[in-house]
Chains A and B, each alone.
Chain A
Amino acid sequence: MASFGYNFRGTDTFVTDGANETYVLNEVYPTTRGGSTFGWDDPPERDDRNASLDRRLAGAHKHSSDLSKRTFRADLATSGAKVLHLSVGDADNDRNQQVVRILDTSTQVLLLDLSATSVPAGSSRDASNVTRTDANWPSQEVGASATFATTILYLELGSSSIDMNGNYSSLRHLNIVDDAGGGPTTVKRLTMLGVG
């Protein structure tokens, strides 16, 4: 099953990425590394947090949003069914209002609207819209399935339509896995999130 993961942090050597993963720093689209082409439209603030955490949670990119957003683009190898995995939060800081939206070019496939949900420091929201502690996230995080008609994934950090009142939306990890079907147990269908 093909997959590719992006670990958002401040410096490349802070931790070592796993197979089929790469770090994301301040790269603007298009940047190619690790077999993937990706990048921000306008890179947000970047942090290294804790190298002793799982590599996927070690850093974060954050955007202070009052009706504004930063957009990350990843070019997918193929269209079709995918499982999206996310970590949205911060190792050191409470995140009181966040929003992350993922689109298939222009079609929304996932929305984490945390405008009324606090995610405590040392934890993050996964793609199934559940908060996991940093200790539990690596083994318990649950993906969300989505079908891409195109090969362009956009992730919006912050929002131009949901006011976050200047609070940071914080992205730590994104992983896109080809969905072989058959309903793996770690996938929550988007209809359960009220999306799609």
Chain B
Amino acid sequence: MKLEDLIVTLEAVRNLGNLRKDIASNVADYKRRLANGDSVTNVQAVIDADAAEYQRRLAWHDEADVAEELAAGIAALGVEDYEDEKQALSDAVSALTSAPKGSREDIEALDIKSLATRKTLFKPKNG
């Protein structure tokens, strides 16, 4: 494994770890914005913008130069559940994107509790 492969892999780990945390904490932030008097329209716009940023962050993993180095790093480290983690976050973003957000009740009902629990991303083959 080359050093650059490891650097990209570590960046990918940080990206996914932060993304999981961001999705969960931002759901709380939307509710706080409503409580602070922000309009449903404004909060909905923030949710949509966040979801677009989440998708862009996930897409970074698939950029040609990144994907090649990432694949080498993951293979060398023996990471078993990288794709599962990425897919879980992608599914969560899709759920957020498609969830109804047109009313205060809709936004207050947003609940992605599973994302609030951080799991270990790396599971070495013999770990």
Contact = CB atoms under 8 A, between A and B. Distances in A.
Interface of A: 16, 19, 28, 30-37, 75
A34 B18 contact: no
Interface of B: 14-15, 18-19, 22, 25-26, 29, 36, 38, 42, 45-46, 48-50, 52-54, 56-57
B105 to A, nearest CB: 22
A28 B50 contact: no
B40 to A, nearest CB: 13
Contact of A28 (B14, B42, B48): B14
A170 to B, nearest CB: 26
Contacts of B45: 35
Contacts of A28: 14, 18
Nearest to B29: A33
24 contacts: A16-B36, A19-B38, A19-B42, A28-B14, A28-B18, A30-B14, A31-B22, A32-B19, A32-B22, A32-B26, A32-B50, A32-B53, A33-B29, A33-B50, A34-B29, A34-B46, A35-B45, A35-B52, A35-B53, A36-B53, A37-B53, A37-B56, A75-B53, A75-B56
Contacts of B52: 35
Nearest to A16: B36
A160 B29 CA distance: 36
B55 to A, nearest CB: 10
